Chains A and B, each alone.
Chain A
Amino acid sequence: MLSRLKYDLTMAEAARGPGGSRVDLLVVADMVERGARVLDVGCGDGELLRLLETRGVDGRGIELSREGVNECVAKGLAVVQGDADTDLEDYPDDGFDFVILSQTLQATRRPRVVLEHMLRIGRHGIVSFPNFGHWRIRLQIALGGHMPHTDNLPYAWYETPNIHFCSIKDFRQLCHAVGAKMEQAVALNAWGGRMRLKMPWWFWNLFGEQAVFLLSRQG
């Protein structure tokens, strides 16, 4: 899944931090406690898992693409070939401290079910996704009259793996619907910078190119 998606990165995703890691992955990794048990759903070539390993995290991964999995396993990562839409139900309740959907949710067939499984399997969930409410995307649809198609979103609508795009506003609504508590949220602007916390949601929804949410079960 992600090995295909990596060519579909937005600028914020492609931005790299001081250690050479993708900024969005650093934001995700910063939300994970040291020594935690983590399941990375849609782990691609394992970049996040390797980043987490350097922080003493016990990481496991699921990846759809065979090439991605085999690359991960050959690197010594605990990754299984599997599909977020069908295989999460095999995982026991509370099996992990954190379940991560890094740039994965929009490529699933049933995002709501996936999110519910995530909250069942993990004490916490971390979701990062490209914000479809970003002004440039809105502009393309509103004025161009076509699906967004940019250097950073290169796929035509009929061949993109991203079948369930959402905006930050949409995602918040889904969180309410599944009873997820939003513990922390970070939006990244087009240059990979963290947007200021004090900004209102509508501002994030318009100018955040990326969003990362830390969730937990309600109650």
Chain B
Amino acid sequence: MADGSATLDLADRTREADSPHSPVVRFAAHKPLRLDAGVDFAPLQIAYQTYGTLNAARTNAILVCHALTGDQHVVNDHPVTGKPGWWETMVGPGRPIDTERYFVICPNVVGGCMGSSGPASTNPATGMPWGLDFPVITVRDMVRAQAMLLDHLGIDSLFAVAGGSMGGMQALQWAASYPHRVFASLPIAAATRHSAQNIAFHEVGRQAVMADPDWRGGRYFAEGTNPRRGLAVARMGAHITYLSDAALHRKFGRRFQDRDNPTFSFDADFQVESYLRHQGITFVERFDANSYLYLTRAMDYFDLAGDYDGAVANAFRGAPTRFCVISFTSDWLFPTSESRAIVHGLNAAGARVSFAEITTDKGHDAFLLDEPELFAIVRGFLEGAAKARGLPAR
């Protein structure tokens, strides 16, 4: 399925991880990233994209946080796939996150494979990719690394931080870790912790990767293999969780793929099978299998109540940040009840919070898609926050 004549040249495969098509900051060895795992990681590299212009007062910066398999290429064509950026509906000139008004920064998360330090990056001590020698990271570590990037860029405080799914977790963690550096936070389709069901889905994905003989205990770069099939299966399973039954029915139903009758074989008879196989195959071209293990793990470990003495409210007590929490009716991966738990915690902490649930059949992925109500809400929320922050009106 995902097999093919992949180039197994090491330098070629790690190029985007080490020397990406993005600006990078390489922190010196004496400026390590302190990790929740108890390790000081160095040297840290962060790749990022920016859009728009930072104003003289440095008050109009919006940090966009990407999701599990996203990256820093928010509104520019992807350097590997050539496809448009992943949030072009939301970010850009005249869009809700308006790059004519705001300075947008999106870093690749630590643990990722698009230029920030991750398991596909080269370990300077060995000259080989880190693989499983890369330390396990958390969402809090991702945010800590982003704070180092902002320090480097000379941005003291963010006007806003926004993201969906794992990006929403980061938006929450930002307000918890650095309340005085975040004026507004927009966690979309997020949660205060990763649920047991979601950990279970992630474990299936990881086991699919590890069951691929080409994974080689994570040393596939050194051994010249690539666990494409395992990663593709992981992606296929995960992709189902990003959609909804209604959306799958609307898009595919039980329709056959390029045929009128079943073949009585295990070919992709159904359109939905063909679609999933395509999703799996295209994903492995741009994503590193070990990175997938690390980032799913980081999401699994996310638990605000666990990290802050048993109550979500403790994470936000006294926080001056204003929040806009958004969920989608058909999202069963991060259902509205999870967003409601965020809101309950924020209310208990006395935070200023807006919360809207948007009616859609598009499932978890709705945050990436054309949802006019989502755009109206984000635009209005940012407008109100900009006024409160004293940013000049557009």
Interface residues of A (CB under 8 A from B): 58, 60, 66, 69-70, 72-82, 90-92, 95
B387 contacts A90, C-beta separation under 8 Å: no
A74 contacts B379, C-beta separation under 8 Å: yes
| B373 CB within 8 Å of chain A | yes
Closest residue to B350 on the A side, CB-wise? A95
Give bound CA distance, A60 to B384, whole Å: 13
Q: Which residues of B contact A90 (CB under 8 A)?
A: 344, 347-348
Interface residues of B (CB under 8 A from A): 322, 324-325, 343-344, 347-348, 350, 352-359, 373, 376-377, 379-381, 383-385, 387
B359 contacts A66, C-beta separation under 8 Å: yes
B384 contacts A69, C-beta separation under 8 Å: no
A80 contacts B347, C-beta separation under 8 Å: yes
Chain B nearest Cβ from A87, distance in angstroms: 8
Chain A nearest Cβ from B192, distance in angstroms: 13
Closest residue to B379 on the A side, CB-wise? A74
4 further A-B pairs in the complex, CB-CB below 8 A; given A81-B357, A90-B347: A60-B352, A74-B381, A77-B354, A80-B354
B348 contacts A91, C-beta separation under 8 Å: yes
Q: Which residues of B contact A69 (CB under 8 A)?
A: 355-357
B348 contacts A77, C-beta separation under 8 Å: no
Contact among A58, A66, A75, A92 with B380 in the assembled complex (CB-CB below 8 Å): A75
Give bound CA distance, A194 to B75, whole Å: 57
Q: Which residues of B contact A72 (CB under 8 A)?
A: 354
Give bound CA distance, A74 to B355, whole Å: 11
Give bound CA distance, A171 to B82, whole Å: 66
**21 residue pairs bridging A and B, Cβ less than 8 Å apart:** A66-B357, A66-B359, A69-B355, A69-B356, A70-B358, A70-B376, A72-B354, A73-B354, A73-B380, A74-B381, A75-B380, A76-B380, A77-B354, A78-B354, A80-B325, A80-B353, A81-B356, A90-B347, A90-B348, A91-B347, A91-B348
B322 contacts A73, C-beta separation under 8 Å: no
Q: Which residues of A contact B379 (CB under 8 A)?
A: 74
Q: Which residues of B contact A73 (CB under 8 A)?
A: 324, 354-356, 377, 380-381
Closest residue to B387 on the A side, CB-wise? A76
Give bound CA distance, A10 to B357, whole Å: 31
Residue from the set B322, B324, B354, B358 with the largest chain A CB neighbour count within 10 Å: B354
Give bound CA distance, A78 to B387, whole Å: 14
Contacts A66-B357, A80-B343, A91-B347; is A74 near B380 (CB within 8 Å)?
Answer: yes
Q: Which residues of B contact A81 (CB under 8 A)?
A: 355-357
Q: Which residues of A contact B324 (CB under 8 A)?
A: 73
Q: Which residues of B contact A76 (CB under 8 A)?
A: 380-381, 383-385, 387
Q: Which residues of B contact A58 (CB under 8 A)?
A: 352
Give bound CA distance, A74 to B381, whole Å: 6
Give bound CA distance, A70 to B379, whole Å: 12
Closest residue to A92 on the B side, CB-wise? B348
For the complex of A and B, the 10 pairs showing the least CB-CB separation, nearest first, are: A76-B384, A74-B380, A80-B355, A73-B354, A90-B344, A74-B376, A73-B356, A78-B352, A70-B356, A73-B377
Give bound CA distance, A80 to B346, whole Å: 11
